[in-house]
Amino acid sequence: MLSCRQIYELITEYDDGGLSTSDRRGFESHVVICPPCRGFVSQMRVARRRVGDASAPALPPELEDSIVDAFRTWKQQG
Amino acid sequence: MEAAGVTIAYKFLSSGAVGLFSRHRWPTPAGGLPGDWVSVGGELRPCLNGIHACSATHLVEWLDEELWEIELEGPVLEDDGELVARAGRLTRRIEGWDEGCARAFAARCLNGTVELTAESLVKAGREREAQELSESRSRADAERQVVELARSFEDDPSSPVIFLADATRLARGGRPELVEEAPAADLGGPTAFALAANLGYVCAHIVAQLAEQQRAGAYEETFLAERRRQSLGLAEKLQLPR
């Protein structure tokens, strides 16, 4: 049986279909019997759906260029 | 194991006939006819690909808000009580499974476990504690009683009485590690169905732990037998054919 902490760590992989059959079964067996994890899984799904639905506004080309430049400079300095 | 033909099984779904994990909304029966068939392609794989259901002997492992009878078509894979088929359709809702039934199931689990724990205390020569535990069931402040009793077992963290104190907290929607009241279900607290699932599991753990105290190595078989007993008891209450 997985722990609550493991459920928190595996939720993204579970939703993306990345878990093995036995891990998936362990995940589901835990969520069925653990009310807090049920709530957590359902909240995470709502959050992921909302983030996925949100459309990112297009950046003006000049702003995008300056952000990329700033990132490159920061990488070179790092 | 694989069986062919049509298999009658059971499926728990969240409110609105939605799969707890798949989030698939199942077509429900209407006008006296079963719901539409739902099918999958590709290789059947437990937990990954297929129409999933369970038999009456494994109901408590999948408790959720709605219980449906489902007809599975074609070969059915059985994996540790989980049934997986290529196609299935809902044939009727088991109306007896509702909040009241879920609460009654949880109460039965808890009462039975209190009784067994009290018996174990008698065997251990702790008659006074056993009596206090048995009497707590009929008291309005049962939770406080059991929690106080559990304090005298703090030197034995694996004591079933400690777990029983957790179970009494869980029974009213609380958390073992928190004293505060749990939020109501509509404010994010656990539903009666989630509590039933939780209590069934915790009580089976306590029963198995009591067996382990009597005989080393008895935990696993007792846990599985208790979960099966819970499932069959629920199936009988709901008058499901075996």
pLDDT above 60 for B189: yes
DSSP B30: B
**Contact across the interface for A32 and B191, Cβ inside 8 Å:** no
**pLDDT digit string (tens) for B131-183?**
888 888 777 777 778 888 888 888 877 788 888 888 887 777 766 555 445 45
Identify whether B79 is part of a domain. Answer: yes
Structural domain tally of chain B?
2
Q: B59 and B105: one domain?
A: no
**Contact across the interface for A21 and B46, Cβ inside 8 Å:** yes
Identify whether B125 is part of a domain. Answer: yes
Q: B29 and B122: one domain?
A: no
Q: How many helices (H) and strands (E) does chain A have?
A: 4, 0
* Residue appearing with tokens 């109306």: B95
Paired tokens of B147: 């929690």
Identify whether B171 is part of a domain. Answer: yes
pLDDT of residue B217: 95
Where is pLDDT greater, at B88 or A54?
B88
Lowest mean per-residue pLDDT among B25-39, B159-173, B222-236: B159-173
Q: B139 and B86: one domain?
A: no
Q: B36 and B83: one domain?
A: yes
Identify whether B194 is part of a domain. Answer: yes
The full set of domains in chain A, from first to last, is 4-77 (1.10.10)
**Contact across the interface for B47 and A28, Cβ inside 8 Å:** yes
Identify whether B157 is part of a domain. Answer: yes
Whether B54 contacts B81, CB under 8 Å: yes
A69 touches B at CB < 8 Å: no
Q: B150 and B58: one domain?
A: no
Average pLDDT for residues B123-135, to the nearest whole number?
Answer: 87
**pLDDT digit string (tens) for A23-74?**
998 999 999 988 888 888 888 888 887 787 777 777 888 888 888 888 888 8
Among A25, A28, A35, the residue with its CB nearest the CB of B190 is: A35
Q: B130 and B199: one domain?
A: yes
DSSP string covering B75-134:
EEEEETTEEEEEEEEEEEE-TT-SHHHHHHHHHHHHHHHHHHHHHHHHHTT-HHHHHHHH
Reduced to 3 states (helix: H, G, I; strand: E, B; else coil), residue B55 is coil
Identify whether B242 is part of a domain. Answer: no
Domain end (from B60, B93, B126): B93
Domain end (from B93, B121, B146): B93
A56 touches B at CB < 8 Å: no
**In which domain, by residue range, is B36 found?**
2-93
pLDDT above 80 for B184: no
Q: B61 and B164: one domain?
A: no
pLDDT of residue B1: 44
Q: B54 and B88: one domain?
A: yes
pLDDT of residue B220: 94
pLDDT of residue B148: 83
pLDDT of residue B187: 53
Q: B37 and B132: one domain?
A: no
CA B196, B199, B205 angle in degrees (round to 5)?
140
Q: B84 and B203: one domain?
A: no
pLDDT above 90 for B9: yes
Average pLDDT for residues B205-223, to the nearest whole number?
Answer: 92
Whether B164 contacts B113, CB under 8 Å: yes
Across chain B, mean pLDDT equals 87
Q: B67 and B136: one domain?
A: no
Burial class of B65 by CB neighbour count within 10 A (0 to 12, 13 to 18, 19+): buried
Task: Give pairs for B209-218: CB < 8 Å, separation 24+.
Answer: B209/B158, B209/B160, B209/B163, B210/B116, B210/B117, B210/B120, B210/B160, B213/B120, B213/B160
Distance separating alpha carbons of residues A54 and A56, to the nearest angstrom: 6
pLDDT of residue B106: 93
pLDDT above 60 for B93: yes
Between the alpha carbon of residue B104 and those of residues A11, B54, B107, the distances in Å are: 32, 22, 5
Distance separating alpha carbons of residues B185 and B47, to the nearest angstrom: 28
**Contact across the interface for A29 and B61, Cβ inside 8 Å:** yes
pLDDT of residue B186: 52
Cβ contacts (< 8 Å) between A36 and chain B: which residues?
175, 190
Reduced to 3 states (helix: H, G, I; strand: E, B; else coil), residue B53 is strand
Q: B36 and B115: one domain?
A: no
Distance separating alpha carbons of residues B87 and B64, to the nearest angstrom: 21
Domain end (from B70, B93, B116): B93
